A and B are shown apart, each in its own frame.
Chain A
Amino acid sequence: MKHTNSAFEKSTTGLSRRTVLTGGAALLGGVLLPSTLSGCSAIAAGGVEQLKFWHLLSGGDGIKMNALVQQANDEFSDEFNATQTVLTWGTPYYTKLAMASVGGRAPELAVMHATRVAGYAPGGLLDEWDLDILAEEGVTEETFLPRVWEKGVMDGKLYSVALDTHPFIMMFNTEHAEAAGLLDSSGKLPAMSSPDEFLEVARAMQGVTGVHGLSYGFLNDGAQMWRLFYTLYAQHGAEMKLEVGKEVEYDMDAAVDSLTFIQSLLDGTITAQTGDYGTAVSEFVSGDSGLFFTGVWELPTMVNAELPVDAQVIPTLYGTPATYADSHAFVLPHQNNPDEAKRRDTYRFVASILKNSISWAEAGHIPSYQPIVESPAYGELIPQIHYAEAAQQVVFDPAAWFSGSGSDFQAYFAENVQNVFLGREDPQQGMEGFIRRLNIMLNRPNPLESA
């Protein structure tokens, strides 16, 4: 192996390891360091607490939240400065939030769906809110609707403070409705109190658009499937209970009835047979349908598109008023060594956002903070007030450590029931598969709770 060295020596003339590394580092340093340093100097401002705030709001919601954060930062610029980190909605966000809380260096504040709190609080992933400090900032139980406030309480402790309720509603194109002769003198759709009455309205809309009557996207989207299903299911007066160690308590007749009705909607005429979320939004926006089952958060999209749109809760077709909803709620992710000054400022920051949440209402959400809902400004928001009643009749996901928005629970629903939606499987079979899956989950202990 005598040739070894000569081969190497030849190549060293070209370059050494050090040259590569120094070169690369210098290059990067030159490009990037100046801005990094300037970033640091902003943080170094004295006396002002830096608050890390995580959320999963993007698009229209993200823009509104950004404005709210800036407003709070400006108002209390000598006390704190909150910086946002936005993570991908759903599983990626909740996974990171849990890992950060376990890791002990969690952000000072985060937004969670109220339905996910049950999966977080018992495991010690969240710290509880101090009611006295909240009261000092003007946030008390009386300033929320009971249903909404109670959603944040577990074992007598408050773990989440709701910013909003965001129900799954029905929007309609007023021009199409007018053309179909559906509107009454006050511009409302006729009352629909049975599936047939609803189908009639939807068909009338279809007659106007020539494409579809109703837009609803669900393909590969467990959350969307669940939102409509659970609205209809709850309108039967049915409930679903998930308790670890027991089997699911549910009402199969109501479930089959709801799924059968959904199948009748997805017939290719009333509604596209295989629409995903984005397709449904663009179909409604482009005027190819007159009705739209969607979350309130799509309202800004309609406003931006200058669509003649109004909204209402999904009509009560089975006797019991019920609207599927969730809440964006503020939580304190667990910190091993919370900084008292930061904690205190966090309360002030949250209160500031709640008190300015009229702009949050503009994004479609129903504010939780009652002084806002009762304010004249809110009464002038149209179509928001047309579905404000939803807050009184909300149903949330059945509580369990694995349920809630963007959870495995909704993924299981999609896995088992998508083929029912697509008309390829019998409703009862699909539902049974879903229940079997849930029973497997309930058979196991909550991984976060000691048995």
Chain B
Amino acid sequence: MTTTEVLNRTEASTDRRVPSARQGRDKRKPLRPSSIIAFVILAVLAILWLLPFAWAIVTSLKSEADAGATPVTWIPEGGFTLDAYTSVLSEGNIPQWAFNSVFTSIVITAVSVAISALAAYAFSRINFAGKKWLFYLTIASIIVPPQMLIVPLFYQMLAFDMVDTYAGIILPQLIHPAIVFILKQFFDQVPIELEEAARVDGASRMRVFLQIVMPLSRPILAAVSIFVFVGAWNNFLWPFIVTNDASLMTLPVGLQTVQSAFGVQYAQDMASAVLAALPLIIVFLFFQRQIIKGFATTGFGGQ
């Protein structure tokens, strides 16, 4: 299955303004009993799936005393409060970690998509010596699990004196061979006429790439960027290995590694988790269609 086909499929599945024939038909009909049963099952499943969120949010809005009280209740005796959030934001490292997460994820996304696009363009359009084996090497490296590299990479970071630095977090996360492959597949399918015309008019390759190819590729670039960004934002293992200094940790690493000096504080734990979850969930609420399409594209594209 090619990337483009997937894009089209997900397009159909996610764009409610262009309903598929089947969806349209179902909507015109009144709900049959079997549909009502299906609806109930779906609703129950959705509630199950949302329960951990709800429980975390409710806990985060309790006082510590209520959060630790038995029996477990949804409505706290002492009423809801924002105390957990205010203390987490004022005392803890959360703002610093959030900044680190945003900063490293944006740099990783921008740089890795840029270098992947350049390489993919070369693979797609330029007949250079060594291209074949370089491309095979790139494809083959897709199977390398990043987890197996933690030891040599850490040792390498020691040699570069990059342990506990932003560079140490970012650099090893820049390579995404699968993204190169997906972009190359896309470029292969972009008609070449425009580029050739521009080349004949004397435009340099870089200019063609930046002014013609890039604008045409915005949707696929958005798709892979979403994929890389979410991956970097949520990455745990590598930042966990390379950062020890609490002020350099990303959100996922900091939340796991650093404790409160005051012991277990359930409401604050949940408030931190909710704060860490919030940015991507909010972005998702606004851009559901695009994000889903991005994931479906890259998900199949890797194959």
Contact = CB atoms under 8 A, between A and B. Distances in A.
Contacts of B34: none
B259 interface: yes
B263 A23 contact: no
Interface residues of B, number: 56
A96 B4 contact: no
Interface in A41-60: 52, 57-60
B218 interface: yes
Interface stretch (B25-33, B45-53, B170-178, B278-286): B278-286
A105 B96 contact: no
A92 B219 contact: no
Nearest to B9: A7
Contact of B244 (A3, A29, A84, A99): A99
B283 A58 contact: no
Contact of B163 (A57, A60, A103): A103
B237 to A, nearest CB: 13
Interface in B265-303: 279-280, 282-283, 286-287, 289-291, 293
B283 A87 contact: no
Nearest to B249: A85
Contacts of B244: 96-97, 99-100, 103, 105-106
Interface residues of A, number: 55
A385 to B, nearest CB: 27
A99 B279 CA distance: 31
B259 A88 contact: yes
Given A8-B7, A21-B229, A104-B163, A86 B261 contact: yes
A209 B231 CA distance: 56
Contact of A62 (B7, B191, B260, B291): B260
Given A11-B290, A20-B287, A28-B98, A100 B263 contact: no
Given A24-B279, A97-B244, 8 more contacts: A1-B4, A4-B190, A15-B222, A17-B226, A19-B287, A27-B279, A63-B261, A105-B165
Nearest 9 A/B pairs, CB to CB: A103-B163, A17-B222, A100-B244, A62-B261, A59-B263, A8-B219, A35-B95, A105-B164, A86-B259
Interface of B: 4, 7-8, 11, 15, 89-90, 94-96, 98-99, 102, 106, 109, 154, 157-158, 161, 163-165, 189-191, 216, 218-222, 225-226, 229, 241, 244-246, 257-264, 279-280, 282-283, 286-287, 289-291, 293
Interface of A: 1, 3-5, 7-12, 14-17, 19-21, 23-25, 27-29, 31-33, 35-36, 39, 52, 57-60, 62-63, 65-66, 84-88, 92, 96-97, 99-100, 102-107, 336
20 contacts: A8-B220, A10-B11, A12-B218, A14-B290, A15-B222, A20-B290, A20-B291, A21-B106, A28-B102, A29-B102, A31-B279, A39-B96, A58-B264, A62-B263, A96-B244, A96-B257, A99-B163, A100-B164, A100-B244, A102-B163
